[in-house]
Chains A and B, each alone.
Chain A
Amino acid sequence: MDYANSEPAGAPPTEITSAKIIIAGGFGVGKTTLVGSVSEIEPLTTEAVMTSAGHGIDDASKVPGKETTTVAMDFGRITMAEDLILYLFGTPGQTRFWFMWDELIRGAVGAAVLVDTRRISDAFAPLDYFENRHLPYLVALNCFDGAPRYEPDEVREALAIAPHVPLIMCDARVRDSVKHVLVGVVEHAMATLVAEHGRGYPTPVG
């Protein structure tokens, strides 16, 4: 890396590593609430401009005259140490913007797919997406007040969640509960990495 060339004089010498965890799920399932429960900053929104053609992000100028669409992603930040920052990125709610997730998940530690038990079918699309990517993920059931409670096994069966994918209950509004979800994502990522290493083909993320 040409770090030495690009570092301005007087910059702090510490190399800062940043990691990210993806929070996926249907529209209105509580992704931004979850991010806000642990983020040290108010969740921010970043917008990407895309063409209606829908291939590649931020590519509008190559097809003048095409309609452009803006997709928003919410994210939060946890500064863990002077040299380590964790970002939490919520996927765009609309599933037709999946192609954008490919860029978003590249290099991620792992993902949590948030499921609302009142609208369980909203989870099919995100689960399908992660099933076909080399990214460790778990399923987190967001238990809203008054939401129908199902046994985890019932949800696992209804959503056809593979046996190796962890399923945990959470409340996206509660910091400790969200912390538990994130710890689960990282532990699952570690177990996946160890298993891949044992099989002798570590897979690049994304």
Chain B
Amino acid sequence: MGQPQQPHDPRGNLVRPYAVTRGRTEPRRDIPIEAVLVASRSAVQEARFAGHDKYRIAVLCEPRAQSLAEIAARSRLPLGVARVLVADMVTDGLLSLHSAAPRQGFTERMDLLERVLSGLRKL
């Protein structure tokens, strides 16, 4: 993924939801909405210096893994904004990104389906 392009005058292009990302709309990496993120205790401490929104996200992800969708919903940020912030935090080592379901490979996909099926039956 390329570097986000900086407009000549970022303020001219801002729409309000993206003010917290300083107008950037392209995340540094693609993160599926269901992929979960975890913050270690030390990462939460470090995130204190990363700004209010990022700190809140780290705090959310410390006790329990949270998906990108949950992070957006619980921090009341639009999905695209949360994705930019979370991608930054992954790059900066403040969050660890876990994997979404495999999309390739018969065995890998079948194994996951079997685990989900057995999980549902136990509900």
Give the nearest-CB partner of B115 in chain A: A84
A residues near B90, Cβ cutoff 8 Å = 6
A residues near B83, Cβ cutoff 8 Å = 58
Docked complex: A32-58 residues within 8 A CB-CB of B: 38, 44-49, 57-58
A residues near B60, Cβ cutoff 8 Å = none
Which of the 9-residue segments A85-93, A118-126, A139-147, A163-171 touches chain B?
A85-93
Contact assessment for A183 and B121 in the assembled complex, using a CB-CB cutoff below 8 Å: yes
Contact assessment for A19 and B101 in the assembled complex, using a CB-CB cutoff below 8 Å: yes
Contact assessment for B91 and A18 in the assembled complex, using a CB-CB cutoff below 8 Å: no
Indicate which residue in A47, A85, A187 contacts B79 across the interface (CB closer than 8 Å): A47
Which of the 9-residue segments A23-31, A61-69, A150-158 touches chain B?
A61-69
Contact assessment for A17 and B98 in the assembled complex, using a CB-CB cutoff below 8 Å: yes
- A75 CB → nearest B CB, Å: 6
Contact assessment for B42 and A61 in the assembled complex, using a CB-CB cutoff below 8 Å: no
A104→B68 CA distance, assembly (Å): 12
Contact assessment for A75 and B117 in the assembled complex, using a CB-CB cutoff below 8 Å: no
B residues near A45, Cβ cutoff 8 Å = 73
Query: Does B59 sit at the interface, judged by CB under 8 A?
Result: no
Query: Does B120 sit at the interface, judged by CB under 8 A?
Result: yes
Contact assessment for B40 and A193 in the assembled complex, using a CB-CB cutoff below 8 Å: no
Contact assessment for A16 and B65 in the assembled complex, using a CB-CB cutoff below 8 Å: yes
Query: Does B85 sit at the interface, judged by CB under 8 A?
Result: no
Q: How many A-B residue pairs have CB under 8 A?
A: 187
Contact assessment for B79 and A64 in the assembled complex, using a CB-CB cutoff below 8 Å: no
- A47 CB → nearest B CB, Å: 5
Residue interface bits B92-113, CB-to-A below 8 A is 1, else 0: 0111111111011110011011
Contact assessment for A49 and B35 in the assembled complex, using a CB-CB cutoff below 8 Å: no
- A156 CB → nearest B CB, Å: 25
A residues near B36, Cβ cutoff 8 Å = 16, 18, 85
A16→B97 CA distance, assembly (Å): 9
- 10 closest A-B pairs by beta carbon, nearest first, are A58-B80, A80-B119, A44-B73, A8-B43, A8-B40, A19-B101, A16-B98, A11-B40, A20-B34, A48-B79
Listed A/B pairs (21) with beta-carbon separation below 8 Å: A3-B96, A6-B91, A8-B94, A15-B98, A16-B65, A18-B98, A18-B100, A19-B101, A48-B80, A49-B17, A64-B13, A68-B17, A78-B119, A85-B34, A86-B116, A87-B67, A89-B34, A89-B69, A107-B32, A183-B117, A193-B106
Task: Using CB atoms and an 8 Å cutoff, list the residues of chain B in contact with chain A.
Answer: 12-15, 17-18, 23, 25, 32-36, 38-43, 46, 65, 67, 69-70, 72-74, 78-81, 83, 90-91, 93-101, 103-106, 109-110, 112-117, 119-123
Task: Using CB atoms and an 8 Å cutoff, list the residues of chain A in contact with chain B.
Answer: 1, 3, 5-12, 15-20, 38, 44-49, 57-62, 64, 68, 70, 73, 75, 77-78, 80-81, 84-87, 89, 103-104, 106-109, 175, 179, 182-183, 186-187, 189-190, 193-194, 197, 202, 204-206
